[in-house]
Chain A
């Protein structure tokens, strides 16, 4: 095809796209419904439609041009995998050093953002056990996060227990709920499992919202105590028993923020370490075998019931830890924080990271949470961009950011393989 006719075809394609965009946006953007004095009125906005259509036209044209001029052929998966493995060897320690040293030079805003990202990293690593290793699609992970948060908040309020006492309790309670959810869904697979876990997450949220005598309903629980450093509190007055008094420094709000940062950093590393160790145990190998083929697992005498239940319970346990941390960090929780959006975000991080790759989860959390944070100025467009980014990244990298896997068990030296070879979560 000559360059001229190719150009004409591209123009025609872009024109058709613009026409579709006109159909899509004409009514939704062009006619805004406003609540008038007596009834609804329509406010026409032709310019907004024109801009949207023009953007689609230009975008489509740019995409087609880029496709035409891009060097032909894609790099082979194997080359990509080895390149990824080589890069991964440097990226992981670099990220670790970066995370450890961040509070030394970053301001309060960045440390707060770091805490947020690390919370999602921890949730992602927790969910990786369920979705990435055991292959059980869980759309209600936020339920365990909520159980952990409310466990700590209620225990602290009603029994005056501290953060460090409640942390294991919150994990334990969340694990119990993991088992409670696990039992009925043992026989379900794939999407049936997904919808039941989603329903479970919604049930927990509705109960938290409506059981006002226990949870204070939509008002939430406030005044949740902050964590202490070996019994030393982070109070601003610097009185006896506070960190500032003990070390003889000026009390400063950033001390608590930095402390919280290292708490979540430690918790996240614990999650990572435990799941890496678990993968080497017979239990972890059973999880991965279950993910690949459940029928073969049964035939080989693996107890599918306990294998699934432990995956749910351990994954839920880490969700509970993260929830307790969330409660102590915010000092205020309400059912608002535990919507399906959270489950979706965590699952997106896990899948985007490459489902089962620990480094991938960290990178994906950094990109998705840190990335959308950069758009904070465009507050109302932020979630719009988040949604669009999910679609675009899935199309560009369906296997996730890190698409190589190191087998947990191998004969001889372990080599990276492409993620395409892993079946990953059929049910």
Chain B
């Protein structure tokens, strides 16, 4: 029982990270209708930026952990947002309104480009980092298996919830969020009603990239090591999460992320760790067979 609880905690932490990335996928898909393949690599860039910031802050002698984390979070989110903006501007905007596969190939090209950019500029070796936050809380210490919640996990969950809270407020309560939701429903109509659609799409990419950078920081803190290839695997899983939750649905993305995180952790704990990705993908296939529009997605009504 305690063992299962431990896995639940681990799975939720991992799922939070996937959920943060999945939100970026689902937002872009909802508005532009394309798979932003480069999103996973923006997440990777965000992780690298966090690593650079944390190392730099330690070097200039800022030892207060909350302060260092806050500065890193803002720095990584800001620069990653710039990456998101640039990627959209260079690779996707010229192809808007073109046929469906052109932006997809362009996105794959961008993903390869970013991945190799990180490899060339930061080196191909795995970068380890000393754990920043130590300590943990033990639950039920008398049982035969002690459940532990590390301070790191608490920090990850709290930060993610805070960021998601701000994001939800942004989408549901601000003019920008209203514009985004309008564009998601009908891009052309939104344009006719005076919404600057180009700007809204740009901002969507910017917000998605910032969230991905937060996820990158969380990933770095949780695993303590990154390399230039993490973006692909995390990206595919986060996209799986977005599809699982019903692509285009923001709560669905978080729910899908949590589901994937839980499946992965429980499979690793009770079966084989090698096949955890197979388990996640198989669940995706099974869900899509029985619910083709995902857990929370709207069913497509085909008009003839």
Contacts and interface: CB of A to CB of B under 8 A. Distances in A.
A198 B236 contact: yes
B243 A351 contact: no
Given A23-B79, A40-B51, A390 B105 contact: yes
Interface in B116-136: 116-123, 125, 127-130
B105 to A, nearest CB: 5
A394 B45 contact: no
B113 A388 contact: yes
Nearest to B108: A344
Q: Is the interface of A mostly helix, strand, loop or mixed?
A: helix
Contacts of A388: 109, 113
A395 B95 contact: yes
Interface stretch (A24-32, A233-241, A257-265, A320-328): A24-32
A33 interface: yes
Contacts of B247: 191-192
B59 interface: yes
B101 A28 contact: no
B105 A351 contact: yes
Given A32-B122, A344-B108, A425-B101, A184 B285 contact: yes
Interface in A175-214: 184-185, 187-192, 194-196, 198-200, 202-203, 206-207, 209-210
Contacts of A27: 49, 52-53, 75, 79
A348 B108 contact: yes
B146 interface: no
8 contacts: A20-B82, A28-B118, A39-B58, A40-B128, A41-B55, A187-B289, A192-B247, A206-B274
Interface of B: 29, 35, 45, 48-49, 51-53, 55-56, 58-59, 75, 79, 82-83, 86, 90-91, 94-95, 98-106, 108-123, 125, 127-130, 232, 236, 239-240, 243, 247, 272, 274-275, 277-278, 281-282, 284-285, 288-289, 292, 300, 302, 304
Contact of A395 (B106, B118, B240): B106
Interface of A: 20, 23-29, 31-35, 39-42, 48, 131, 137, 184-185, 187-192, 194-196, 198-200, 202-203, 206-207, 209-210, 295-296, 340-341, 344, 347-348, 351-352, 355, 380-381, 383-384, 386-391, 394-395, 398-399, 420, 423-426
Contacts of B120: 380-381, 384
A39 B127 CA distance: 10
A348 B109 contact: yes
Closest 8 CB pairs of A and B: A390-B109, A387-B113, A387-B112, A199-B281, A398-B102, A384-B116, A398-B98, A391-B109
Nearest to A38: B130
Contacts of A35: 125, 127-128
Given A32-B123, A199-B281, A395 B91 contact: yes
A156 B293 CA distance: 43
Given A33-B51, A184-B285, A24 B79 contact: yes
A42 B284 contact: no
A395 B75 CA distance: 31
B122 A199 contact: no
A383 B112 contact: yes
B284 A199 contact: yes
Contact of A199 (B104, B111, B272, B285): B285
Nearest to B37: A344
A207 B278 contact: yes
B127 A33 contact: yes
Given A24-B83, A203-B282, A295-B302, A42 B108 contact: no
A32 B29 CA distance: 34
A15 to B, nearest CB: 16
B229 to A, nearest CB: 10
B101 A355 contact: yes
A25 B82 CA distance: 11
B235 to A, nearest CB: 10
B121 A28 contact: yes
A32 B121 contact: yes
Contacts of B281: 199-200, 202-203
A188 B129 contact: no
Nearest to A390: B109
Contact of B129 (A40, A41, A192, A210): A40
A136 B89 CA distance: 28
B79 A203 contact: no
Contacts of B236: 198-199, 202, 340
Contacts of B275: 206-207, 210
A295 B304 contact: yes
Contacts of A187: 289, 292
Contact of B113 (A190, A199, A384, A426): A384
A394 B95 contact: yes
Given A24-B82, A35-B125, A40-B129, A387 B116 contact: yes
A35 B124 CA distance: 12
A136 B197 CA distance: 30
Given A24-B86, A207-B278, A398-B102, A340 B232 contact: yes
B121 A20 contact: no
Which of A23, A386, A391 has most chain B Cβ within 10 Å? A391
A137 B94 CA distance: 22
A391 B110 contact: yes
B99 A424 contact: yes
Given A32-B122, A33-B122, A340-B232, A192 B105 contact: no
B101 A424 contact: yes
B49 A28 contact: yes
Contacts of B289: 184, 187
Contact of B277 (A24, A202, A390): A202
A188 B292 contact: yes
B101 A137 contact: yes
